[in-house]
Amino acid sequence: MSHEALENLLHEDRAFPPSAEFAAQANATEAMYADADADRLAFWAEQAGELEWSQPWDTVLDWSDAPFVKWFDGGKLNVAVNCVDRHVAAGHGDKVAFHFEGEPGDTRDITYADLLTEVSQAANALESLGVKAGDRVAIYLPMIPEAAVAMLACARIGAVHSVVFGGFSAEALRSRIEDAEAVLVITSDGGNRRGKPMALKPAVDEAVAASPSVQNVLVVKRTGQDDIEWTDKDIWWHELVGAQPTTHEAQGFDAEHPLFILYTSGTTGKPKGILHTTGGYLTQASFTHRNVFDLKADTDVYWCTADIGWITGHSYVVYGPLANRATSLMYEGTPDTPHNGRWWELVEKYRVSILYTAPTAIRTFMKWGEDIPAGFDLSTLRVLGSVGEPINPEAWMWYRRVIGGGRCPIVDTWWQTETGAMMISPLPGVTACKPGSAMHTLPGICAEVVDDDAKPVGNGGGGYLVLTEPWPSMLRGIWGDPERYKETYWSRWPGLYFAGDGAKLDEDGAIWLLGRVDDVMNVSGHRISTTEVESALVSHDTVAEAAVVGAADETTGQGIVAFVILREGVEPGDHIVADLRNHVAHEIGPIAKPRQILIVPELPKTRSGKIMRRLLRDVAEGRAAGDTTTLADANVMTLIGQGLASGSGSED
């Protein structure tokens, strides 16, 4: 980035304040910001006080060994007790913790009392296998209740879980098992995906064969596939766990005891194990879940659609909701099975009131058309959330109008695997939201947008998003590699956390995330964010989704190349491409007019829904596509190649 930082090109004047009725009943008020500003550490101590501690802490924050931090040092607590036992003890055992819906339509309602029994049995089972506090356990499961039970059982006995997304390859699993030296793998025979069983056990067999640290493999029977191999390390979950005593005495662990490792899915090099600990993590996960979603535990039905294998699944499917005694929906399958209205069918069936999902899903629903959700009763929804990447203003507006009926606040949340919990988000009863903006830091969080010299850019300017003070749920390091932790996050500017995101402040000081600074394009000396050009394209009524890259250009340094998915029923053609190029020039300015627009059927995405712009850059610059092992659908690059061959696109 230049000293001029990032160009601030798109402007958004629409704002949606909460209704008077919503504001009057909201958990979070404007005063929360003032309280946090007046005494940040007292504020976080108050939030930690919402949890049950077996021993109080001595120090709220110890930053003396920065960038290594301790929160609530000296305190002890048990995460499973906070998520399960205390609610049962308070008389809420009959309350549903999870409504589970399998893709084939099988269902289970799991109460907090049921969950306590299952977690206790699983904890006893782990201990019977010799797993002890500090040991690492790899979890490789589909979205089934046993995934949450396994995580909580590890937390209960102080074992450190490493959840690996069930779509990852045997090699990806092996590298994560090896890095953490896991002693146990918890998996299943398979899961259900798009109408058929998807085997998981073969990948585990391959990974474990090359992982000498693994002593046992605990296998959940989910699909009943007959053709799975069995080794002398394998044990059926139902046979071992089902035979255990239904009670387990939990002990408190230090606030800084490791809770989990979660590997970020890089495509090259050694996996990066992000380490989170106990007290600060649970404090911020539960605080943000309760206040950003305005959770009313007695009446809300909450649905976070993320997989358990991502940080969103950890913080906002398992730990945050259960700490707050939420009733959640857990769904195994995909949005398009057995039909494209499956999610809205589930919202209607379970009377979901809070929905938290990703922009990539919202844009997919836009592509399918609004007549699909219109066929279902979505009137129980009262708060909508977005996570994973910046949301385009038009997708935000569609989400509000079509899914939220024009009445639901939208909380667009920015955070990362590394931050552990939400950092920047509206508070739904306080903030007048602008479509596409995450708005402001949450109470108790400190961030700035800075230039190359770490100077704040001020309102109207763009630059790098940095965090200026430690926060409770921050990563405690990279597993086994403290130097890499310092180099990756803290080396750019002394004392500032920077993980690679660009942002801008609008004239009112609202924060707009602009994606990875690696994705910024340099066109004739102008630093242009891919996010802004993508948002301009998606604001055209023919476009469902767009991805933009900068490709080498002899004249301008880089030229803007756009890959566009059209909405259902729109016929591609040169006139569409010309309209879109002119539309971007009108919305942003001639400098941002794409050199080339390619109409494609799909975009290359990781299994968490993030667009792999690196592969698109390969295409735009005429190279063979690089490593595609983390793609959700390996056929996408073939489809794009066929589209290129057919000549869809335009350039001057």
Quick one: pLDDT at residue 1? 39
* Sequence letter at residue 450: V
Q: Is residue 260 domain-resident?
A: no
CATH number, domain containing residue 584: 3.30.300.30
Say what the pLDDT of residue 266 is.
Answer: 46
The pLDDT score that the predictor gives to residue 7 is: 63
Alpha helices (runs of H) in 49-111, residue ranges in sequence order: 79-80, 86-87
Phi, psi of 603 (to 5 degrees): -120, 150
Please state which of the ranges 131-140, 274-283, 440-449, 617-626 shows the lowest mean pLDDT. 617-626
What is the residue type of 102?
G
Q: Across-strand partners of 563?
A: 547, 598
- pLDDT value, residue 168: 81
Q: Are 639 and 601 in contact (CB under 8 A)?
A: yes
pLDDT level of residue 646 (50, 70, 90 thresholds): low
Q: What is the pLDDT of residue 176?
A: 93
- Number of separate helices (H) and strands (E) present in the chain: 21, 30
Amino acid 647: pLDDT: 46
Q: Which domain holds residue 546?
A: 521-645
In a domain, 620, yes or no: yes
Whether the per-residue pLDDT at 23 is higher than 60: the answer is yes
Q: Is residue 591 domain-resident?
A: yes
What's the predicted TM-score (pTM) here? 0.88
Confidence of residue 227 (pLDDT cuts 50, 70, 90): confident
Section 189-213 average pLDDT: 94
Residues 6+ apart with CB under 8 A from 500: 516, 517, 518
Neighbours of 150 (CB within 10 A): 31
- pLDDT score, position 643: 63
Residue 365 lies in a domain: no
Q: 536 lies in a domain?
A: yes
pLDDT at 133 over 60: yes
- What is the model's pLDDT at position 611? 85
pLDDT for residue 591: 83
Q: Would the pLDDT of 193 be above 70? A: yes
- Whether residue 197 has pLDDT greater than 60: yes
Q: Pick the range with the lowest mean pLDDT from 174-178, 187-191, 261-265.
A: 261-265
Mean pLDDT of 22-33: 97
What confidence score (pLDDT) does residue 438 get? 96
Burial (Cβ within 10 Å: 0-12, 13-18, ≥19) of residue 221: middle
Do the Cβ atoms of 291 and 32 come closer than 8 Å? Answer: yes
Which has the higher per-residue pLDDT, 629 or 532?
A: 532
More confident residue, 551 or 291: 291
Closest to 200 measured CA to CA, from 186, 214, 182: 186
Q: What contacts 544, CB < 8 A, 6 or more positions away? A: 363, 364, 366, 367, 538, 565, 566, 567, 568
> According to the per-residue pLDDT averaged within each range, which of 8-12, 416-420, 618-622 is highest?
416-420
Q: Residue 553: its pLDDT value, please?
A: 82
pLDDT at 637 over 70: yes
Please, are residues 604 and 24 in contact by the beta-carbon 8 Å criterion? Answer: no
| Residue 118 covered by a domain | no
Residue for token pair 């056929």: 635
Q: Could you tell me what percent of the chain has a pLDDT over 90? A: 79
pLDDT above 70: residue 120: yes
Residue 552 inside a domain? The answer is yes
pLDDT at 268: 42
pLDDT digits (tens, 9 = 90+) for 479-499: 999 999 999 999 999 999 998
| pLDDT for residue 104 | 94
* Per-residue pLDDT, 318: 98
Residue 422 lies in a domain: no
- Tell me what pLDDT residue 627 has: 66
pLDDT at 528 over 90: no
pLDDT tens profile 342-365: 999 999 999 999 999 999 899 999
Q: Which helix (H) or strand (E) holds 185?
A: strand 184-188
Whether residue 429 is predicted with pLDDT greater than 90 in this model: the reply is yes
The pLDDT of residue 416: 94
The total domain count for the chain is: 1
Residue matched to tokens 């989400």: 399
DSSP state letter for 512: E
Structure-token pair, residue 232: 């002398």
Average pLDDT, the chain: 92
Answer whether residue 523 shows pLDDT above 70: yes
Residue range 139-167, pLDDT digits in tens? 999 999 999 999 999 999 999 999 998 88
386, 362 Cβ separation under 8 angstroms? yes
Q: How many CB atoms lie within 10 A of CB 499?
A: 17
Residue 650 pLDDT > 60: no
Distance CA 175, CA 480 (A): 14
